[in-house]
Chain A
């Protein structure tokens, strides 16, 4: 059996899958992420985002202008610890970069 090239280890997304998605029309990094699910796992894109961006560049000729939107938490954290913050942190909090709606 042939070797798989893994671009996103956390979600088991292969190079073949990313190339298929680009050929299917997902020609910007945010759409590519939504289509394949790369960058949505344990490491939140630490290892795969640039690898996928480079494939996009090789396939479309352009490296993305900006990365996908980084959202908290950047590092996995136990829910039990998050729960202790209830009194300190109000629940209606939003990350700064979510203020402009869709992004």
Chain B
């Protein structure tokens, strides 16, 4: 795979569209200086502050790990901490998601669970030995205990995630925080709700696992209306973030709400755990991307549209020849931006479907089926159509049962038009809630939360 860092100055020269300017917001040479990281003994030129997964993609390295059972090659696919493809040992610590750790001079990155490396792993033989499936729950259990134990021991060596860290944990003590409201998720819904709640006089802690605010809109390559202007995603997210902060919201970015209980929520923020006690919890934590089912869909070189857009924002194209399967406005914008960045873009025509990715290590082509024929496309990256599915899990932990969303064929948090749920202290808004995003619900949820906290807030 060839290096994929875009010459931003050359590409943007003479172009003045706001989309293009926003595309390279993190990638301008002024945005960050050069640095060098080490990957499996090699020195890799990177840009300080960009995610390590992006630095490695830019250097032409897309295979970062191996899958647990088949030892199939894996690489970053989501670039937003939702998959396992970039799990690496970084600075002696196992299981870091390379898409979440910024490059810094001297950082040491190693592949884990691959023999001898992520690029060449002899245990791939498992993949060929079990051509359809590897049902470890039922394999070998009928034989004697000794054979079973030997098999288990072997399986544990081959599978698993990483080995223990070199240093004991240097974690700081927890920060205990008491607030009227905890808002989880800082997309447009969460940001506007947090701002309005603070303006209504409530104390608000708002967290998002991303290092930046704006959610899905931030990654969108189309323009969005804000104060009668059309702006690109990052500007939109930053503007809403500035308003929320000006209104007095305590915003923590890069802070991941991991578990929520009746009397508090655990948030992991860098080297520190937060224990957050809030009278009300508002979940506006958006959607995941569901895996797209096609042959060898887990191969390095398969990216979500969101990941491909995100890589461009760091000045890196995910491929030199990219097959983009979606057809909505953001997919059109992605194709334009990829072309501007020097990639050859292929799209499916009407009636064509993606059958499988081809390639031994990472993607070198795709098989596409039309109405009457099947043919092969040469490409080194594939962006399939993925389905956005509401992240109902946290609200579920809080005791709100998720419901089937028949129209979207997924699950969503059951909330009424005011964002109220079956738990009096738990509210949901934005695309995580049943029925999807609506600005009416975002206004109503603010009133409902203010009224609830005003009554004393007892759940």
Q: Which residues of A contact B (CB under 8 A)?
A: 1-17, 20, 35-37, 41-51, 53-55, 57, 63-67, 69-85, 87-89, 93, 95-97
Contact = CB atoms under 8 A, between A and B. Distances in A.
Nearest to B298: A6
Contacts of A51: 290-291, 293
Contact of B268 (A37, A47, A77): A77
A43 B399 CA distance: 21
Contacts of B402: 66-67, 70
A2 B131 contact: yes
B55 interface: no
Interface string B391-405: 111101111011110
Interface in B364-397: 387, 389, 391-394, 396-397
Contacts of B271: 81
Given A9-B74, A96-B262, A17 B132 contact: yes
A16 B87 contact: no
A37 B137 contact: yes
A85 B273 contact: yes
B297 A74 contact: no
B289 A47 contact: yes
30 contacts: A3-B357, A4-B295, A5-B294, A5-B296, A6-B297, A6-B298, A7-B293, A9-B67, A9-B77, A9-B84, A12-B134, A13-B133, A17-B132, A41-B68, A43-B82, A48-B291, A50-B410, A63-B404, A63-B409, A65-B403, A66-B402, A67-B396, A67-B402, A70-B396, A77-B258, A77-B266, A77-B273, A78-B169, A80-B169, A93-B261
Contacts of A6: 72, 291, 297-298
B135 interface: yes
A85 B263 CA distance: 14
Nearest to B137: A37
Given A14-B133, A47-B291, A75-B256, 17 more contacts: A4-B132, A6-B72, A10-B68, A12-B67, A13-B133, A17-B133, A41-B84, A47-B78, A47-B83, A50-B290, A65-B403, A74-B259, A74-B391, A77-B268, A78-B169, A79-B169, A95-B399
Contacts of A82: 266, 273
Given A42-B84, A74-B394, A81 B273 contact: yes
A15 B260 CA distance: 32
A36 B409 CA distance: 21
Interface string B77-115: 110011111010000000100000000000000000000
Contacts of B77: 9
Contact of B397 (A57, A71, A83): A71
B interface majority secondary structure: loop
Q: Which of A37, A46, A73 has the most CB of B within 10 A?
A: A46
Contact of A85 (B136, B275, B409): B275
A4 B399 contact: no
Contact of B83 (A9, A13, A53, A79): A9
B411 interface: yes
Contacts of B273: 77, 81-82, 84-85
A28 B296 CA distance: 26
Contacts of A17: 132-135
List the 8 closest pairs (A to B, CB-CB), nearest first: A80-B169, A3-B295, A72-B259, A96-B399, A17-B133, A70-B393, A70-B396, A73-B258
Nearest to A3: B295
A69 B409 contact: no
A2 B411 CA distance: 32
Q: Which of A6, A7, A13, A45 has the most CB of B within 10 A?
A: A6
Given A47-B289, A80-B171, A93-B261, A85 B266 contact: yes
A23 B161 CA distance: 31
Given A54-B409, A95-B261, A75 B290 contact: no
B288 interface: yes
A88 B68 contact: no
B389 A49 contact: yes
B40 interface: no
A46 B391 contact: yes
Nearest to B393: A70
A77 B273 CA distance: 9
